[in-house]
Structure 1
Amino acid sequence: MLDISTVTRSDPADTLPPDFVVIDVETACSRVSSICQIGIVGFRDGREIFEYETLLDPRDEFHLFNTRIHGIAEHHVVGQPSFADVHGIVHGHLSGRTTVAHSYFDKGALAAACRVHDRPAIETVWLDSVRVAKRAWPDLESHRLGLLARYLGIAHKHHDALSDARAAGWVIVKAIDHTGIALDEWLAPPRKPGPAPRPAPSGPLSGERIAILGEPRDGALACRIAALGGRIVSAVGNTTTALVIAGRAPYAYSVRNSGAFRRAEQYRRLGGAIRIVSEHELDLPGLAAGPITG
Structure 2
Amino acid sequence: MKFIMVDVETANSNQGSICQIGMVKVENWEIVSKGSMLIDPKADFDAVNIGVHGIRPEQVVGKPTFVHAHAPVKGFFDEQVVFSHSTFDQIAFDKACDQNDLPRFDCHWMDSTRVVRKTWAQFSQRGYGLRSLADHIGFEFGHHDALEDALAATAVLLAALKDKGWTLDQWKEEIGHPIKVDGSVSGAPASNSVKGKFEPNPDGSFFKQGICFTGAVPGMSRNQARDAAAKLGFTIVTTVSKKCNVLVAGELDPSVLAEGASKSSKLLKAEERLANGEDIRILSPIEFAELFVEGG
Pair in the same fold by TM > 0.5: yes
TM-score after normalising by structure 1? 0.59
The letter of the residue matching 1:181 is W
After TM superposition, give the deviation of residue 189 of structure 1 in Å: 2.8
RMSD: 2.5
Cα-to-partner distance string for 1:219-268 (whole Å, 9 max, x where unaligned): xxxxxxxxxxxxx984899xxxxxxxxxxxxxxxxxxxxxxxxxxxxxxx
Tell me if structure 1 keeps the 8 A contact 2:117–2:179: no
Structure 2 residue aligned with 1:121: 104
Identity %: 35
Question: Which of 156, 163, 167 is the matching residue for 2:152?
Answer: 167
Structure 2 residue aligned with 1:62: 45
- Secondary structure in structure 1 of the residue aligned to 2:7: strand
Moved over 6 A (4+): 211-214
Where structure 2 has 5 or more consecutive residues not aligned to the other structure, the ranges are: 185-202, 209-296
After TM superposition, give the deviation of residue 193 of structure 1 in Å: 9.0
The letter of the residue matching 2:98 is R
After TM superposition, give the deviation of residue 131 of structure 1 in Å: 0.7
1:148 aligns with 2:133: yes
Q: Larger relative contact order (C-alpha < 8 A, sep ≥ 6)?
A: 2
Structure 2 residue aligned with 1:86: 69
After TM superposition, give the deviation of residue 30 of structure 1 in Å: 0.8
Where structure 1 has 5 or more consecutive residues not aligned to the other structure, the ranges are: 1-17, 195-210, 215-231, 238-294
Against the structure 1 CA distance between its residues 184 and 73, is the aligned structure 2 distance closer, same or farther, given a 3 Å change threshold?
A: same
Cα-to-partner distance string for 1:169-192 (whole Å, 9 max, x where unaligned): 222211111111122211113566
Q: How many residues are matched? A: 187
Q: Select between 74-83 and 181-190 the one with higher mean Cα deviation.
A: 181-190
After TM superposition, give the deviation of residue 213 of structure 1 in Å: 7.2
1:23 aligns with 2:6: yes
Larger Cα Rg: Structure 1 or Structure 2?
A: 1
Against the structure 1 CA distance between its residues 150 and 86, is the aligned structure 2 distance closer, same or farther, given a 3 Å change threshold?
A: same
Question: Which of 158, 163, 168 is the matching residue for 1:183?
Answer: 168
Question: Which of 10, 19, 26 is the matching residue for 1:43?
Answer: 26
- Secondary structure in structure 2 of the residue aligned to 1:156: coil
After TM superposition, give the deviation of residue 149 of structure 1 in Å: 0.6
Tell me if structure 1 keeps the 8 A contact 2:16–2:93: yes
The letter of the residue matching 1:54 is M
